[in-house]
Chain A
Amino acid sequence: MSQDIQRLTRRELAERIANDIPDGSYANLGIGAPTEVADCLPEGVTIILHTENGLLGMGPKPPPGEEDIDLMNAGKQYVTALPGAAYFHHADSFAMMRGGHLDYCVLGAYQVSVTGDLANWHTGAKDAIPAVGGAMDLAIGAKSVFVMMDLLTKKGVSKLVERCSSPLTGIGCVRRVYTDHATFDITPAGVVAHDLVPGLSFEALEKICGLKLLRKD
C-alpha cells in the first residue's frame, strides 16, 4: 500500500509552507528542516525573517569568502542581513516572540497531539543531554505555530498522537502540522486533514495515524 503513496519531499513540504505564509508577515524558521522554507518563499512577497540571536531581515547565506563570524542564524550558520534589517539584543529578540509580535514560526517536532501540544526539545530518553534553546518561547509566543515534520517515525509510528509521550515544549500551541502525507489543522472540533498526497485516501490516513480525523468542509 505505502509504495503507492506519493509522499512529499522535504523541498515540496517547504514550498507548501512557504506559500501559506502571507505577504507582510514576520516569521521565525526553526533550526533544521524549517530553515529550508526560507529558500522557497515566493517572488514578490515581503516576509521578514526573525532569528532569535538578534536579527530581523535575515537574508540568504553569503557567497563563499564573504562569511562574517558576527553574522549568523540560530542554527549557527552564516547568513546575510537584507536592506532594512535590524540588530537587537536577546531580551528584545525574545520580547518579539513572548510579547506576541511574531506572526508565524515553523518548528520541527518529535510529536504533536490532537489538541496541539508540542514535543520537540527532548526525546525523553533518560541518558539524553537536554537542550531547549528558544523552542518553548517560540511555541507560546508566535501568533501561529506551524510544525514541519515527517508524519511517521523511522519505525513507522505516527508522530501525530492522541497524547504526547515525549516531554512537552508547550501546551495547545500548534495551529497546523505540515507532513509528507497531508496537512493537519488543529481545531477546537478536532484535527482537520487536508491536502492529502496523491495515492493516499482519507481512510488510509486515519489508519496510519490511528486517529479519528475530520474532513475539510
Chain B
Amino acid sequence: MNKICPSLEAALSDIPDGASIMIGGFGDAGVPFQMVDALIAQGAKDLTIISNNAGTGSEGIAALIKLGRVKKIVCSFPRQADSKAFDERYLSGELVLDLVPQGNLAERIRAAGAGIGAFFTPTAYGTLLAEGKETREINGRHYVLEYPISADYAFIKAYKGDALGNLVYHKTARNFGPVMATAAKCTIAQVSEVVAVGDLDPETVVTPGIFVKRVVEVKPTPTHG
C-alpha cells in the first residue's frame, strides 16, 4: 500500500465540476494553501466548499471565490477584516452561504465520519440559525436536530505523514483536519514531511491511515508553515 502521490497535480486530477470539498484550517493555521492553489490550476468549478472561514486577502479560498469557482460555502465565520472576495460575491448573490455555528460544523462533520444519522444539540436553540429545524425537549433542556455534513473530498494539512496515510499535526494547525479526514469519500493530506512507515509512534498518530486516501509532501514556506 502506497498512498503517496508524486505531486498535488496528480492528487487532484480527478476532481470534477460540482464537487463538494472540505478544506481544513482556522485563520491561516492548517489551511493547505498549496493544495488550494493546485485546485485553482486544476480548473474544477461549481464547487461547494466546507471550511471554517471563507478566506481572506487574495489567497486560498479567497482566490477560489474571486475566480467564481465556488457556488456555495458552508462555514461559521465568513466575515473578517479582509474577506473582500467573499463579501463581494455574497452581497451580489453569486455565492450561497450556509452559516453554521462552529461547534455544529465540527460535530456535523464528525457525525458524518462516524456514521451518525443526526443528533440533537442545544446550540442555536431559539435563534435564527435554528429556524425551521426540528427541536425536542430532553430532560428539561431544548435541543435542535442537526444532520451530518459529508463531502466528496477533504483537503487537509498535516505535519508528518507516511505511505499508509497516518498523520500527525502541528499545534493549532490541527483544528478541523482530523474530523474532516473522516467525513469525505477521498481525503487528501498535504504534509510538510513524508516519513517512512514505522517512523510515527503508533501512540501518537492522530489520524489513522484508514481515513486518508492520498498523501502529498509539500515543503513548508515561511508564510504558509
Contact = CB atoms under 8 A, between A and B. Distances in A.
B127 A168 contact: yes
Max chain A C-beta neighbours (<10 A), residue from B123, B172, B175, B178 = B172
A129 B223 CA distance: 28
B126 A76 contact: no
B26 interface: yes
Max chain A C-beta neighbours (<10 A), residue from B97, B105, B223 = B105
Q: Say whether chain A's binding surface is mostly helix, strand, loop, or mixed.
A: loop
B121 A98 contact: yes
B16 interface: no
Contacts of A217: none
Interface string B156-191: 000000000000011111111111000000000000
Give the size range of A's interface with the partner: 35 or more
Interface string A36-72: 0000000000000001111100000000000011111
Interface string B78-99: 1110010011001100000101
Nearest to A100: B122
A61 to B, nearest CB: 14
Given A122-B128, A131-B77, A136 B123 contact: yes
Contacts of B172: 51, 53-55, 70-72, 87
Interface string A168-183: 1111000000000000
Give the size range of B's interface with the partner: 35 or more
B175 A91 contact: no
Interface in B120-160: 121-129, 142
A74 B103 CA distance: 13
Given A54-B172, A81-B171, A90-B175, A136 B79 contact: no
B101 A132 contact: yes
Interface stretch (B7-15, B36-44, B106-114): B106-114
A114 interface: no
Contacts, number: 145
Nearest to A88: B174
A141 interface: yes
Contacts of B128: 122, 167-168
Interface string A151-173: 00000000000000001111100
Contacts of A74: 26
A194 to B, nearest CB: 28
B28 A91 contact: no
Interface in A132-148: 132-137, 140-141
Nearest to A53: B26
B175 A98 contact: no
Interface string B196-225: 000000000010000000000000000111
B29 interface: yes
Nearest to B177: A89
Contacts of B126: 168, 170-171
B20 interface: no
Interface string A92-112: 011101100000000000000
A203 interface: no
B34 interface: no
Given A55-B172, A98-B107, A141-B122, 18 more contacts: A53-B27, A54-B172, A69-B224, A70-B29, A70-B173, A72-B28, A76-B28, A87-B169, A89-B174, A89-B175, A91-B179, A129-B90, A134-B103, A136-B101, A136-B103, A136-B104, A136-B129, A169-B127
